[in-house]
Amino acid sequence: MEENRLELQGTANGFRLLPRHGKGLWLAVATALIGVVAPAFAQQPVVVEGDERVDAVDRFIEVYVADGAIQAQYGQELRVEGFGSVEARGGFFYNETRDLIGVVDGLLLIGDQADVRLIEVNVGTRLYAAFLNAENEDTFAVGFGGEAQWFFTRDQRSSLKLTAFYSPDILTFGIANNVQDVGLRLETRIFEATDIFVGYRSLEIKTTLGTRDVDDNVHIGFRRDF
């Protein structure tokens, strides 16, 4: 007997979950995510003509490679008058066991500035749309968390960044029960708009069949602003 699955479907009023068989969840989630994120990336600035309340400040690409894994992201920072700075990102993660995960972030920047250092904190949500190859299953998760980045000096050339996101069972659909995503990174600027970094990430998906360490490795990478 085939196992009932869930599909995330966009509607005029938001999203709804429908029963479905097979791998349709991955395609449905990918379509929904593209529909949410693409408008934010495709327009510059992301406002109606004549509206100066939102400025597109910076765009960037970021790539890292680990032992058996790779992740690439594209992001854009927006400054909204009366609200603050918002960073939107979208990308993918792929590993040697052929797990493919789409990742979308929406983060609000808050900060704590002192005389000799700058601490930047981003809080928000991270969406995961994953196909887990070993289980031949799809999963979708909504995680909450953020990033804290401590710059060693006022010129902000070197920093230490801690990242943590968690998706609880009630917001995790498909074969997964929850998602835990933690990382630590040492980053430094080598050119005017290019940073390199070395770090460690633990991306763990707990499923009904057991715990999957999707990423549990040291990685190296770069970020390029433009």
Query: pLDDT at position 117, please?
Result: 61
Query: pLDDT at position 28, please?
Result: 46
Query: pLDDT at position 61, please?
Result: 97
What amino acid occupies position 215?
D
CA angle 221, 222, 226 (to 5 degrees): 160
Query: pLDDT at position 105, please?
Result: 97
What amino acid occupies position 133?
N
Strand (E) or helix (H) holding 42: helix 24-42
In whole angstroms, give the CA distance from residue 56 to residue 75: 11
b/e sequence 180-202, b meaning 16+ C-beta within 10 Å: bbebebebebeeeeebebebebe
Query: pLDDT at position 3, please?
Result: 42
Strand (E) or helix (H) holding 64: strand 54-66
Task: State the residue for tokens 């005029």.
Answer: 12
Query: pLDDT at position 35, please?
Result: 46
| Residue among 94, 86, 90, 134 at smallest CA distance from 110 | 86
**What are the per-10-residue average pLDDT scores of the chain (226 residues)?**
43 42 44 44 42 75 96 91 85 97 94 68 96 92 96 89 97 95 97 95 94 96 95
Query: pLDDT at position 9, please?
Result: 45
Query: pLDDT at position 114, please?
Result: 58
Query: pLDDT at position 39, please?
Result: 45
Quick one: residue 85, left, alpha or beta (phi over 0 = left, psi -120 to 50 = alpha)?
beta
Question: What domains lie within the chain, and their CATH numbers?
Answer: 51-225 (2.40.160)
Burial bucket for residue 175 (CB in 10 Å: 0-12, 13-18, 19+): buried
Query: pLDDT at position 197, please?
Result: 98
